[in-house]
Structure 1
Amino acid sequence: MDILYTNTRDASEKVTASRAILNGLAKNGGLYVPVSIPKLNITVEALAEMTYQETAYEVMSRFLTDFTEEELKHCINSAYDSKFDTEEIAPLKKADQAYYLELFHGATIAFKDMALSILPHLLITAARKNHVKNDIVILTATSGDTGKAALAGFADVKGTKIIVFYPKNGVSPIQEKQMVTQKGENTYVVGINGNFDQAQTGVKQMFSDPELAKEMEAAGYQFSSANSINIGRLVPQIVYYVYAYAKMYANGAIGKDEAINVVVPTGNFGNILAAFYAKNMGIPIHKLICASNENKVLYDFFQTGTYDKNREFMLTSSPSMDILISSNLERLIYRIAGDDAKKNASFMGELAKEGKYTLTPGMREQLDSFYGNYTSEAETAAVIKEIYEKTGYVLDTHTAVAAEVYKKYKAETKDTAKTVIASTASPFKFTRSVMNAIDEKYDAMSDFELVDELSKIANVKVPKAIEEIRNAKVLHDTVCEVEDMPKTVKTILKIQ
């Protein structure tokens, strides 16, 4: 059965998977969602025997139905190859009564690699299928990880350019150095004097600007996105949870049809939405546990049914989650509004105008498979220290948020179901925060001294991604004001 994609804000727009990937954002600022979520009609015994690549094909082929088997397998095998530092791609490690799905073994040591390694291949294939002659300009905003992973994925990919906007003082030193040292004739990195939400809003406004689209077309360009607003980013993320479930069954951690919980540290809601889609495909997931840092807009949403971004923006030690506008939540709102584009558009209009919206009681009832909580900065640091001292396993700050929220969930519910925690970044990406949590004496060390010390205490080799930037030259130093983002894009693309 062919799966089409519809616009969360305009029911009249329906496109193929390849066209949805190519467009990135739907009309009127909407997002593409599958008209229906396909069932994964494969036994867990069969899944348990599969590699990550084979699992990816089984999941993605059900969503990307206008890709041929040959095209999709080529994309998957080109993405999940030797650029990952482990053959398993996403190892599952047990520590302190939970199973950590390590999603950070790619080229930039964060989970974004998992989807952004395949997106360029999906996009180029989609462009060929749709006879696109223009160069594709990937326009993206990052809170730290997406940017570098997208840059690495698209660097020197023929027929593309990539422009990444990031909050100048809102990412870790290592995240920033990873981005500003990125090589590639088609890569551009711009710091903004603002926060991630402003960067993301600026990017969305450029996508929705008809005058800019005309100027781009005249110059032989068209926009697409590498953010998780692109369905080509979201679909590969569903694979994580199918693979994790199958591996838990394969290693005897769970029995047939035994339900698990999934904990996801999230700001933009994409990664946990992928787990929700996996559940709807038929994977036995009991609770979807949404873990927030001090920017706890999602926690408050699950507590009250009101999404309210009108609050102070906090800079935390888990910067990839420092987000107050969770873009992917719109896909869930559309779903619980009964796939009603008008109703969803009304909520999103309220968000744009008032900065908040409130669900109906009937919509709230449909959120019973979700649980939300958050951790303070002090709690995040404490759980890093606790798990390291107990097990020797070192968490990054984002994964620590998830670990602490899981502790709170267990204490509150007494639920003993086996649980997978999405481990979204390597601790090497946030060395200062991680090492200070373990012992404050480390604060006197430089960033790269901390890297070597972390390698020693965790008994883990320094990742290649970190070694590469030790002495790398800064290649990108552009900084602009939020309101100057469109002008900066036109300057980069030499559009007068």
Structure 2
Amino acid sequence: MELMYSSTRNDKVKLTASQAILKGLADDGGLFVPERIPALDVPMDTLADMSYQETAYEVMSRFFTDFTEDELKDCIKKAYDSKFDTPEIAPLVDADGAYYLELFHGPTIAFKDMALSILPHLLITSARKNQVKNDIVILTATSGDTGKAALAGFADVEGTKIVVFYPKNGVSPIQEKQMITQKGANTCVVGIHGNFDQAQTGVKKMFNDTALEAELDVAGYQFSSANSINIGRLIPQVAYYVYAYAKLYKNGAIAKDEKINVVVPTGNFGNILAAFYAKNMGLPIAKLICASNENKVLYDFFSTGTYDRNRDFILTSSPSMDILISSNLERLIYRIAGNDAEKNTKMMEELSTDGKYAITDEMRAQLADFYGNYTSEEETAKTIKKLYEDTGYIIDTHTAVAAGVYDKYKKDTGDTETKTVIASTASPFKFTRSVMDAIDPKYDAMGDFELVDELSRIGNVKVPQAIEEIRTAPVLHDTVCEVEEMPQVVKKFLGV
């Protein structure tokens, strides 16, 4: 039975999976959601013996029902190959009483690779299925990791162009170097004078600009998105939670049907929403633990039922989570509002005009699966230092936010028995200065690449290829603009 997708702001809209992937964002500004969450109807004993690629097929085929088996398997095969530095794709590491799901073994050493390695192939297949003649222009905003992962995925992919906007002073030096050295004639990287939320709002405005859409259509282009607002990026993320559970079961760490907790460092809410979808497919997940940094808009939401972005924007050592408008939360709001597009639209309009909205008590009752908390900058650094000193295992700043919040969860609830998976979302090599400073302030005197080599030495881990290749790479993108100039920059790049 074909699974259709509707907009969170208009449930009369009905699109196939490939149509929703192509559009990225609905015309009304809403996000595409499946009409129902399909059941994971594969026995756990079968899943336990599957490779990552086989698991990904079982999950994605339940959601992307208008793709043929060959089409979907071809996309998966092209995505999860030797680009990843481990055949497991997403290995689990047991450290200090938790299982770290390492999602950073792809070409840009961050979890975004898990979905952005497959999105270009899903998009191109979708374009063919829907007889699209235009070139696809991927337009995206990044708080650090999405940008490089999208650039790496789409570089030199025929029939596509990609434009990435990032906050000029809001990403780590390594993140910026990864983006501005990106090769590919179809790539464009632009720093903006502003923060991530402003970049994301600018991108959304372009998606909803009908005059710009018409101009591009005449020139043979149409926009699509690589942000986690695209359903083609969200669904592949569901797969790694299923894979992690199956591997824990296979290794004897959990019994069949035993519930686990999942902790996710959360910014735009896509990664934890994927875990929520996995739970609703039938994966035995107890608590979804939402970890925030000092931009704790989500912690406050789970604590009070009010989402309020009216606050100072804080630059932290976990920049991919420096977000005050968590776009993917809209998908959850729509669901707990009883799939009521009108109710959801009203709240999103309040967010746009007043910067906040409040959910009802009835809606709050449906969030019992979630636990939210946050760590301060000091707590994040202490978590990195303690884990390294206790185990020798080195984690990045975002993963440390999750580990720190997991400690708070155990203290708050007394739940120390439930096996817990922590989503480890980036390699420590991506945030070497913050990580090494946390371990010992003496490292602050070193240069960026000296720190890379020292981290490799003390952690006894090989420097990832993604870091090696940017040591001496030339800067290929140096455009910087104001927020209001974003549409002009896109048109100039496309020659429109």
TM range (shorter): over 0.9
Deviations 1:267-309 (A, max 9, x none): 0000000000000000000000000000000000000000000
Distance 1:349 1:243 in 2: 38
CA distance in 2, matches of 1:130, 1:382: 51
Question: Which residue of the partner structure matches residue 353 of structure 1?
Answer: 353
**Displacement, 1:74?**
0.2
Question: How much does 1:12 deviate?
Answer: 1.6
Check if 1:171 corresponds to 2:171: yes
In the alignment, which residue of structure 2 is the partner of 1:15?
A: 15
CA distance in 2: counterparts of 1:211 and 1:388, whole angstroms: 54
Which residues of structure 2 form unaligned runs of 5+? none
Q: Which residue of 2 aligns with 1:393?
A: 393
In structure 2, C-alpha distance between the alignment counterparts of 1:197 and 1:134, rounded to whole Å: 29
Q: Which residue of 2 aligns with 1:243?
A: 243
What corresponds to 1:203 in structure 2? 203
The residue that corresponds to 2:422 in the other structure is 421
- TM score, norm. by length of structure 2: 1.00
The answer to whether the Cα contact below 8 Å between 1:436 and 1:443 also exists between their aligned partners in 2 is: yes
Partner of residue 98, structure 1: 98
Does residue 3 of structure 2 align to residue 6 of structure 1? no
Aligned counterparts, 1:244-263, within 5 A: 244-263=244-263
1:485 equivalent to 2:486? Answer yes
Q: What is the distance in 2 between the residues matched to 1:296 and 1:32?
A: 26
CA–CA separation in structure 2 for the residues paired with 1:168 and 1:188: 14
Give the Cα–Cα distance (whole angstroms) in 2 for the partners of residues 152 and 48 of structure 1: 31
Kindly state the Cα deviation for residue 265 of structure 1 after the two structures are TM-superposed: 0.1
Alignment of 1:56-95 (within 5 A): 56-95=56-95
- SS of the aligned residue for 1:27 comes to coil
- Compute the displacement of 1:51 (Å): 0.4
Structure 1 counterpart of 2:444: 443
Partner of 1:323: 323
1:232 partner amino acid: G
SS where residue 28 of structure 2 aligns? helix
The equivalent residue for 1:50 is 50
- The match for 2:407 is 407
Aligned counterparts of 2:91 and 2:22: Cα–Cα separation in 1: 31
1:163–1:190 contact (8 Å) kept in structure 2: yes
Per-residue deviation at 1:11? 1.5
- The offset of 1:487, in angstroms, is 1.0
Superposition CA RMSD, Å = 0.4
Q: What is the alpha-carbon distance in structure 2 between the residues aligned to residue 25 and residue 13 of structure 1?
A: 12
Partners of 1:28 and 1:6 lie apart in 2 by 11
| CA deviation map 1:434-459 (0-9, x unaligned) | 00000000000000000000000000
Could you tell me whether the CA contact under 8 Å between 1:4 and 1:35 is conserved in 2?
yes
Partner of 2:459: 458
Counterpart of 2:295 in 1: which secondary structure? Answer: coil
C-alpha distance in 2 between matches for 1:37 and 1:204: 26
Deviations, residues 100-151 of structure 1 (Å, cap 9, x unaligned): 0000000000000000000000000000000000000000000000000000
Name the SS of the counterpart of 1:12 in structure 2.
strand
Partner of 2:26: 26
Q: Deviations over 1:451-489 (max 9, x none)?
A: 000000000000000000000000000000001111111
1:213 aligns with 2:213: yes
Deviation at 1:28? 1.3
CA contact (8 A) 1:18 1:129 kept: yes
What code does the residue aligned with 2:269 have?
F
Partner AA of 1:429 in structure 2? K
Matched residue of 1:323: which SS?
coil
Write the letter of the residue equivalent to 2:491: K
- How much does 1:53 deviate? 0.2
For the residues of structure 2 that align with 1:139 and 1:333, how far apart are their CA atoms?
25
Match of 1:467 in 2: 468
Q: Secondary structure at the match of 2:469?
A: helix
Give, in whole Å, the separation in 2 of the partners of 1:189 and 1:252.
46
Length-normalised TM-score, structure 1: 1.00
Give the whole-Å Cα distance in 2 for the aligned partners of 1:443 and 1:93. Answer: 28
Structure 2: how far apart are the matches of 1:216 and 1:258? 52
Cα distance in 2 for partners of 1:161, 1:27 equals 21
- Partners of 2:485 and 2:83 in 1: how far apart? 36
Corresponding residue SS for 2:101: strand
8 Å CA contact 1:10, 1:27 repeated in 2? no
Deviations 1:340-368 (A, max 9, x none): 00000000000000000000010000000
Aligned length: 495
Percent of aligned positions that are identical? 77
After superposing on structure 2, the runs of 4+ consecutive aligned residues of structure 1 that deviate more than 2 Å are: none
**Aligned partner of 2:291: which letter?**
A
Question: In the aligned structure 2, how far is the partner of 1:39 from the partner of 1:436?
Answer: 45
- Paired position in structure 2 for 1:306: 306
Q: Look up the equivalent residue of 1:489 and give its one-letter code.
A: V
C-alpha displacement at 1:27, in angstroms? 1.6
Equivalent residue number for residue 434 of structure 1: 435
Q: Is 1:272–1:288's contact at 8 Å kept on the other side of the alignment?
A: yes
Could you tell me which amino acid in structure 2 is paired with residue 121 of structure 1?
Answer: H
- Structure 2: distance between partners of 1:253 and 1:149: 32
Q: Which residue of 2 aligns with 1:289?
A: 289
1:43 CA displacement: 1.0
Matched, 1:144 2:144: yes
Cα displacement (A) at 1:240: 1.1
Give the aligned partner of residue 159 of structure 1.
159
State the secondary structure of the residue aligned to 2:398: helix
The residue that corresponds to 1:366 in the other structure is: 366
The answer to whether 1:125 aligns with 2:120 is no
Q: Distance in 2 between matches of 1:187 and 1:26?
A: 24
C-alpha separation between the residues in 2 aligned to 1:268 and 1:450?
Answer: 29
Aligned to 2:191: 191
Alignment-mate amino acid for residue 388 of structure 1:
Y
Paired with 1:16 and 1:28, the residues of 2 have a C-alpha distance of 17
| CA distances 1:190-219 after superposition (whole Å, capped 9, x unpaired) | 000000000000000100010000001011
Determine the structure 2 residue equivalent to 1:264: 264
